[in-house]
Amino acid sequence: MAEAARGALPLRGLAPPLLRRLSELLDRAAPGKGWRDLAQRAGSRGRVRLSPLDLEQCSLKVLEPEGSPSWSLLKLLGDRGCTVVELMQFLQALEHTEALQCLSHSGSITGLPGNKLHICVQPQAQSLAVGDALVLECGAVGNPIPQYQWFRNGFPLANGSENVYMVTYVDVEHQGTYWCHVFNDQEDEDSNKIEVVIGRKAMAVECSEEDLSDLQKPAELQEQADHRPVATDKVALLIGNMSYWNHPQLKAPMVDVYELTNLLRQLDFKVVSLLDLTEPEMRNAVDEFLLLLDKGVYGLLYYAGHGYENYGNSFMVPIDAPNPYRSANCLCVQNILKRMQEKETGLNVFLLDMCRKRNEYDDTILILDALKVTANIVFGYATCQGAEAFEIQQSGLANGIFMKFLKDRLLEDKKITVLLDEVAEDMGKCHLTKGKQALEIRSSLSEKRALTDPIQQTGSSAETQARNLQWAKAHELPESMYLEFKCGVQIQLGFAAEFSNVMIIYTRIVKQPPEIVVCRAYVTDFALDLDVDPKEANRGTPEETGSYLVSKDLPKHCLYTRLSSLQKLREHLIFAVCLHYEYPGTEYTMDERKEVNVGKPLIAKLGLHHGFKTNNCLQTCCLTNNRFPNHMGSSPVATEYFIPSHCPPNSCPGIYLPNHVCSDSIRQPEACSCNGILASRHEVGNYQPPVEESNVPVETTDDTVELEFLLSDKLRFSKQQYL
């Protein structure tokens, strides 16, 4: 009984020094073992479920002088009843040996199951070539602290007394059977025995004498090969344009941007996600994005909406573009790439869910400065030149074909071009779009860089802090507050972010005197910039306001108001909270109101509505002489950098699946299980937007299983061809 009681020790009962040590280990953990991974494991438990808002609040702790996201997460888990045993189970699932040892060897938790010697990380068999690096890992927990001794073919290995055994340059003599003997003063245990096979590496390389001279630096090259690429930081700008003023309305970008945001945050990207931007807002958003870039930073730009390609240049179309539009009304992707290269970024990834068909109304040959010759560029287009793109609709929600398959692969620890190749193969199995839409990849990437690469900051702490502050400016939510009215009623006012420029306000009455029989509270009097429709404000469910993606993470029994286009806010967000109440036996309704000022929330702080510099887009040098490898799954072939490749993009939103990583059935060799009807929808000149057509979903479901992308026969595919 005593042991069981100790096993149920609440997490918040741990001593602060131990929690601080655990936080340090989680803050600097390798990919797959950090605080976000712990949060995902813990979030699978119903009573400690964590929302995206919880994770966002944890991540913002890096801005405080002594702040720690992991410390904030552990405190949050403790407040929600997580026990020490549960934490050990989470850490065990992550194979975070060091944190397990720290926890299990603390004197404050003797008697826990972790005190028994146990190997939780087994070494893995490997097949290597001569010259490769051998890394074997064994992890164990126990009390006293376990010790290690590695063996090969029955003989102990020198320098084999750590939990990780490494040979930086293997030869055939390193082949054999390996295992690790783990022991302490009370117990001992052997790991699994595994085979390490070493083969000769055959290689044929064509190179000049000058190239050969450069190869005479094996030590330097081996040092590079032994280390995985790292990013100095990771930042992403996601833009989804749907509500076009003069062109067909789209549905897909909302959900696609939302899902991609959640996935990239799991990979430690600083994400800015924006919906429905005008031309100056898009240009200023790009400028702010570029401020986050620096040497070695991984930069990712995702765009879903209308677009086109002329003379090798791709153009993103803002929502206020005239009909017809030309290059002067749009943003040139290649120009953004050039400006990213000026920052000496470590990786530039462009995912373009847009059309690349010729714009017959635009004969301008845009002249741009020449791109630098760098090996860090990856373009992923939703579809090929001359083809069409599709979106899938279910229950009023839309998902693009590209994002449907991309989201199931994005978290995989693979070189980004390999990952996109597999997405292309998955798309090819969808029988409804086979031969109609295909992902195209263009890459000049010569290193094995992946979105999962760890972050290793090399700049000064001041530079890192400045970048964190710049990003955090766009993600500061007002704090929850309580309003006291003279009649004794107390109202809670809360805030949640759906996108970087979309915020949900929720209100609920938390205290009502018994003598008041009727009581209602609502928010009103918003700035005209936000264009809030009173009919869609103060609704009983988030869905009624147009918010379909965060409804499960918001508190229940509230009134909800959705504020979009926060980038248009020029002054502080000031609004009124109105209270209507009645006393028994009276025919009169009493009114009280309070004015609330919450400053500039989220993206409003960046002032994207301000004027922009027109010379940001037009440059002065021709692009057509640049060469760019075309990634075809084999050896790169030099092609014209501007040769058209993807076709009509598709703007896509997908279904919000908070804990969705991938669907195994999508990976099967059989054809995709999508069933539906293909219907084309062409944008034509002189388009007149329908008067009453809505571009927001009209219904949703609380059953996330029903929202899985393995869709039923009721799915409707509608082609989005954008000119």
Q: How far, CA to CA in Å, does 467 sit from each of 204, 451, 474, 515, 629?
A: 44, 19, 12, 53, 32
* Alpha helix ranges (H) inside 239-291: 252-266, 279-291
Do the domain assignments include residue 616? no
**In this structure, how many other beta carbons lie within 10 angstroms of the beta carbon of residue 712?**
12
**How far is it, in rounded angstroms, from Cα 178 to Cα 157?**
10
Confidence class for position 230, pLDDT limits 50, 70, 90: very high
Do the domain assignments include residue 605? no
Written as six digits, the tokens of 404 are: 């449907």
pLDDT, residue 651, reads 28
More confident residue, 494 or 84: 494
Q: What is the CATH number of the domain that holds 576?
A: 2.60.40.3360
Q: How far, CA to CA in Å, does 531 sit from each of 9, 524, 569, 576?
A: 51, 12, 10, 15
Q: Are residues 535 and 664 in the same domain?
A: no
Residue 62 DSSP one-character state: G
Q: Are residues 17 and 54 in the same domain?
A: yes
Note whether 548 and 615 are within 8 A (CB). Answer: no
Query: pLDDT tens, 401-439?
Result: 888 899 999 999 999 999 999 999 988 888 777 777 888
Tell me the angle at which helices 35-43 and 16-27 cross, rounded to the nearest 10 degrees.
110
Task: Out of 198, 225, 252, pick the residue that ends a domain.
Answer: 225
Does this model's pTM top 0.75? no
Residue 298 DSSP one-character state: E
Dihedral sign computed on CA atoms, order 682, 686, 692, 697? positive
Give me the residue label for tokens 């000149």. 685
Task: Report angle CA 690, 692, 693 to the nearest 5 degrees.
Answer: 65
Closest CA to 572 of 602, 597, 609, 608: 597
**In this structure, how many other beta carbons lie within 10 angstroms of the beta carbon of residue 457?**
16
Written as six digits, the tokens of 582 are: 């009645």
Q: Picking from 140-154, 571-585, 676-690, which range would have the lowest pLDDT averaged per residue?
A: 676-690
Phi, psi (rounded to 5 degrees) for 600: -110, 100
**How far is it, in rounded angstroms, from Cα 384 to Cα 644?**
8
pLDDT, residue 4, reads 35
Residue 502 DSSP one-character state: E
Q: Are residues 460 and 509 in the same domain?
A: no
Written as six digits, the tokens of 495 are: 């805030």
pLDDT, residue 138, reads 82
**How far is it, in rounded angstroms, from Cα 62 to Cα 417?**
31
Confidence class for position 680, pLDDT limits 50, 70, 90: very low
Task: Out of 192, 225, 258, pick the residue that ends a domain.
Answer: 225
Q: Are residues 206 and 245 in the same domain?
A: no
pLDDT, residue 491, reads 94
**Burial of 557: CB neighbours in 10 Å, binned 0-12, 13-18, 19+:** exposed
pLDDT, residue 574, reads 94
E-assigned strand segments in 168-260: 176-183, 188-190, 194-199, 234-240
Task: Report angle CA 17, 23, 29 to the nearest 5 degrees.
Answer: 140
Do the domain assignments include residue 577? yes
Do the domain assignments include residue 606? no
More confident residue, 90 or 439: 439
Q: How many domains in the chain? A: 4
Q: Is the peptide bond before 248 cis (omega within 30 degrees of 0)?
A: no
**How far is it, in rounded angstroms, from Cα 487 to Cα 590?**
9
**Which domain, by its residues, includes 72?**
2-112
Confidence class for position 106, pLDDT limits 50, 70, 90: low
Q: How far, CA to CA in Å, does 627 sit from each of 148, 336, 439?
A: 53, 17, 21
Q: Are residues 461 and 512 in the same domain?
A: no
Give me the residue label for tokens 């699978």. 44
Query: pLDDT tens, 525-535?
Result: 998 888 788 88
Q: Give the containing element (helix H, strand E) for 595.
A: strand 590-597
Please count the residues of the chain: 723
> Above 70 in pLDDT, residue 173?
yes
Do the domain assignments include residue 609? no
> Above 60 in pLDDT, residue 55?
yes
Do the domain assignments include residue 254? yes
> Above 50 in pLDDT, residue 206?
no
Sheet holding 313-316, edge to edge: 307-310, 313-316, 331-332
> Above 80 in pLDDT, residue 110?
no
Note whether 362 and 427 are within 8 A (CB). Answer: no
Do the domain assignments include residue 610? no
> Stretch 41-57: mean pLDDT, rounded?
72
Q: Are residues 349 and 380 in the same domain?
A: yes
Confidence class for position 81, pLDDT limits 50, 70, 90: confident
Phi, psi (rounded to 5 degrees) for 267: -95, 15
Catalytically active residues are 306, 355
Dihedral sign computed on CA atoms, order 16, 19, 21, 23? negative
185 CB-near residues (< 8 Å, 6+ apart): 144
Give me the residue label for tokens 């189970």. 89
> Above 90 in pLDDT, residue 593?
yes
615 CB-near residues (< 8 Å, 6+ apart): none
Task: Out of 225, 259, 280, pick the residue that ends a domain.
Answer: 225
Q: What is the CATH number of the domain that holds 159?
A: 2.60.40.10
Q: What is the largest CA-CA distance in the chain?
A: 100
Q: What does DSSP say about strands 331-332 and 313-316: parallel, antiparallel, or unpaired?
A: antiparallel
> Stretch 641-656: mean pLDDT, rounded?
27
Q: Are residues 104 and 243 in the same domain?
A: no
pLDDT, residue 362, reads 85
Query: pLDDT tens, 188-204?
Result: 999 999 999 987 544 44
> Above 60 in pLDDT, residue 636?
no
Q: Is the peptide bond before 478 cis (omega within 30 degrees of 0)?
A: no
**How far is it, in rounded angstroms, from Cα 537 to Cα 523?**
8
> Above 80 in pLDDT, residue 455?
yes
Q: Are residues 459 and 487 in the same domain?
A: no
Written as six digits, the tokens of 661 are: 């990583």
Residue 665 DSSP one-character state: G
Q: Are residues 336 and 458 in the same domain?
A: yes
Tell me the pLDDT of the chain averaged across its residues.
75
Note whether 413 and 450 are within 8 A (CB). Answer: yes
Q: What is the CATH number of the domain that holds 389?
A: 3.40.50.1460
Note whether 672 and 717 are within 8 A (CB). Answer: no
Query: pLDDT tens, 309-328?
Result: 888 888 999 999 999 999 99
Note whether 287 and 265 are within 8 A (CB). Answer: no
Confidence class for position 637, pLDDT limits 50, 70, 90: very low
Q: Are residues 242 and 368 in the same domain?
A: yes
**How far is it, in rounded angstroms, from Cα 702 to Cα 700?**
7
More confident residue, 95 or 629: 95
pLDDT, residue 231, reads 92
**How far is it, in rounded angstroms, from Cα 130 to Cα 210?**
25
DSSP 111-170: TSGGGS-EEEE----EEEETTPPEEEE-EEE-SSPPEEEEEETTEEPTT--SSEEEESS-
pLDDT, residue 650, reads 29
> Stretch 88-96: mean pLDDT, rounded?
78
Written as six digits, the tokens of 555 are: 């508190």
Q: Are residues 209 and 81 in the same domain?
A: no
Phi, psi (rounded to 5 degrees) for 404: -55, -45
Q: Are residues 241 and 345 in the same domain?
A: yes
Do the domain assignments include residue 612? no
Q: What does DSSP say about strands 481-484 and 490-499: parallel, antiparallel, or unpaired?
A: antiparallel
Give me the residue label for tokens 């898009």. 282
Percent of the chain at pLDDT > 90 equals 30
**How far is it, in rounded angstroms, from Cα 211 to Cα 52?**
50
Name the CA dihedral angle for 229, 230, 232, 234, rounded to a multiple of 10 degrees.
Answer: 100
Note whether 63 and 468 are within 8 A (CB). Answer: yes
